[in-house]
A and B are shown apart, each in its own frame.
Chain A
Amino acid sequence: MGDIIVVENLVKRYDGKAAVDGIDLRVRKGEVFGFLGPNGAGKTTTVRLLSSLATIDGGRVWIDGHDIVKEPMNAKACMGVIQQHISLDKDLTVRENMMQHAMYHKIPRPERASRIDELVGYAGLDRYMDYMVNSLSGGWKRRVAIVCALFHRPALLFLDEPTAGLDIQARRLLWDLIRQLNRDGTTIFLTTHYIEEAETLCDRVGIIDNGRIIATGTPKELCGRVGSVAVEYFDGDRGTQYRYFPSRDDAGDFMRALGGEDTTIVLRNTNLEDCFVELTGKTVGDA
């Protein structure tokens, strides 16, 4: 499998300050790639640059082999984008929003109705088709937005914080939909605040901070870099402390050295949240 996204030294500045500061990135065809980072790290800016919504100040980007500056129409035709904010036209019905997107993507008239039927069944939206978008809950609006981004069968789907603000049930339904899309061959590029989401869905994860990618790899590889076993213990004034070890034996030695029967000590596998905190120096609460 080749790379569907190739990014070389991507730069974007706002008021002279770099929001994206020389990113290099490759996303393989068919994978789910997650972008993790604290608020203001440059996740959404990166998605806006890759999806042609913002102009780039430096570097180059190819989407499925098309340079987004020189061949924007070809690059845009390969991708679907679901923004962080629901970007549907709330003065129209669900069906009208879908028709509108089908037109934007130049789906021939005879195919539009059948494509809508196909996707509506896929997303379980049948009974909401003639509702005004404004009357739907956040989860259903998100589903409509996903359907709208899929009309042209994009090879690549950008999802910017797809489950932000959704309840747990809606989030899990959406995860199923994302998995299904990926199984059907769509490459997924998603940004998320939720560590669990990245761990559950992503084949590979990139961690971004201050506009730079500081680590890329599978969740397992990233955890391995920090240490695959974590020891979590409470240390009086210093609060809860975390130490990471390459093996359970090393962690066990450390725990024994800690001693102290009144100390609460937890031994567990390292997770992406630990990597995130170690690599960015920030807590998930900042994210």
Chain B
Amino acid sequence: MFEAVKEIYYVSWSDMRFMRHNMLNVILTSLMSPLLYLIAFGFGLGDSMTQQGVPYIAFMIPGIVALTSLSASFTSTSTRLNVQRLFYRSFDEMLMCPLRFSSIIIGKTMLGFMRGLLSCSIIFAIGLFLTPHLQLTPLFLACVLLSCFTFSCLGVTAALLAKSHQSMATFNTLVILPMTFLCGTFFSLDSLPEAFQWALYAVPLTHSSVCIRAASLGWDFPWASLAVLAIFTLVFFSVNMHLLRTRRV
């Protein structure tokens, strides 16, 4: 077990160095989209609307935190791994070294995980300043940690499956972009037709939004959604293991 933890550290070390080299860029690029959403929707609609009994801005900020956990974690993991695998070929080096595949997968999620946590923390800190309805609770932290890990794992999957830079862009457009707007980040799913709601509950960001919002607003916690999010993580992890074992990378 301790050996596996050391391997995870070894695999993630270079990504942490990369993040250190590019810290300003990392922070600016991870915060740009959520801040724009915050300004456009939050300040534009914030005073005039309520959702489920709270001001819209208090409703929306947990959604933006969930969205940030997706965009920051997924993008940083998938982009860097895609470059390392297809352009630098440095990912091959790991496969030829005596490292467990599970350590390689978890190690490669660490960059997105850390970057997601950093961005979510900043957004939530801004949210605490803007509205008194938000609460920083251990359950909220657990949801954000799991959410960042899940989407970083999805980033590994996307990067391992990508045949080219173009296919990463296609994945972003077809999978990530619809999730961004439809998964209850900016509005309650109750306002959608029932069939559409079912479809959206098959997507991890919906469960992430529901959990993070409930945990930060003190609502009844949807434990089933947390379990579903954990199952998504296991599925992404298993797919990654299969891809490495069969070297379909």
| Interchain CB contact under 8 A, A54 and B98 | no
B93 in the interface (beta carbon within 8 A) = yes
Chain A residues with CB below 8 A from B97, complex form:
76, 101, 104-105
**Measured between alpha carbons, how far is A79 from B97 in the docked complex, in Å?**
9
Please count how many residues in chain A sit with their CB below 8 Å of the partner chain's CB atoms: 31
Pick the contact of A52: B7, B9, B21, B95 (CB < 8 A).
Answer: B95
| Interchain CB contact under 8 A, B99 and A87 | no
Size category, B interface: 20 to 34
Interface string of B66-106 (1 = CB under 8 A from A): 00000000000000000110001110111111110000000
| Interchain CB contact under 8 A, B88 and A55 | no
Chain A residues with CB below 8 A from B223, complex form:
none
- A78's nearest neighbour on chain B, judged by CB, is B98
Q: Which of B7-59 contact A (CB under 8 A)?
A: 7, 9-11, 13-14, 17-18, 21
| Interchain CB contact under 8 A, A87 and B88 | yes
B191 in the interface (beta carbon within 8 A) = no
Pick the contact of B92: A53, A76, A91, A99 (CB < 8 A).
Answer: A53
**Measured between alpha carbons, how far is A265 from B213 in the docked complex, in Å?**
88
**Measured between alpha carbons, how far is A83 from B94 in the docked complex, in Å?**
13
Chain A residues with CB below 8 A from B98, complex form:
72-74, 76-77, 105-106
CB distance from B105 to the nearest CB of A (A): 15
| Interchain CB contact under 8 A, B96 and A53 | yes
B246 in the interface (beta carbon within 8 A) = yes
| Interchain CB contact under 8 A, A87 and B10 | no
- A100's nearest neighbour on chain B, judged by CB, is B14
| Interchain CB contact under 8 A, A55 and B246 | yes
**Measured between alpha carbons, how far is A223 from B7 in the docked complex, in Å?**
49
**Measured between alpha carbons, how far is A251 from B140 in the docked complex, in Å?**
88
- B87's nearest neighbour on chain A, judged by CB, is A90
| Interchain CB contact under 8 A, B99 and A91 | no
User: Given A96-B14, A96-B17, A99-B13, A87–B95 Cβ distance below 8 Å?
Assistant: no
Chain B residues with CB below 8 A from A55, complex form:
246-247
Interface string of A100-135 (1 = CB under 8 A from B): 110111100000000000000000000000000000
Chain A residues with CB below 8 A from B6, complex form:
106
A88 in the interface (beta carbon within 8 A) = yes
Q: Which of B97-155 contact A (CB under 8 A)?
A: 97-99
| Interchain CB contact under 8 A, B96 and A52 | yes
A166 in the interface (beta carbon within 8 A) = no
CB distance from B71 to the nearest CB of A (A): 21
Chain B residues with CB below 8 A from A148, complex form:
93
- A132's nearest neighbour on chain B, judged by CB, is B21
- A85's nearest neighbour on chain B, judged by CB, is B89
**Measured between alpha carbons, how far is A54 from B95 in the docked complex, in Å?**
9
CB distance from A40 to the nearest CB of B (A): 19
CB distance from A160 to the nearest CB of B (A): 11
A61 in the interface (beta carbon within 8 A) = no
User: Given A96-B14, A99-B13, A100-B14, A76–B96 Cβ distance below 8 Å?
Assistant: yes
**Measured between alpha carbons, how far is A29 from B246 in the docked complex, in Å?**
30
Pick the contact of A103: B13, B18, B92 (CB < 8 A).
Answer: B13
- Give the interface of B toward A (CB within 8 A): 6-7, 9-11, 13-14, 17-18, 21, 83-84, 88-90, 92-99, 246-247
Q: Could you list 7 further interchain pairs (A-B, Cβ under 8 angstroms) beyond the known A72-B98, A87-B90, A89-B84?
A: A51-B96, A55-B247, A77-B98, A87-B89, A91-B88, A96-B14, A105-B98
- Give the interface of A toward B (CB within 8 A): 51-55, 72-74, 76-77, 79, 81, 83, 85-92, 96-97, 99-101, 103-106, 148
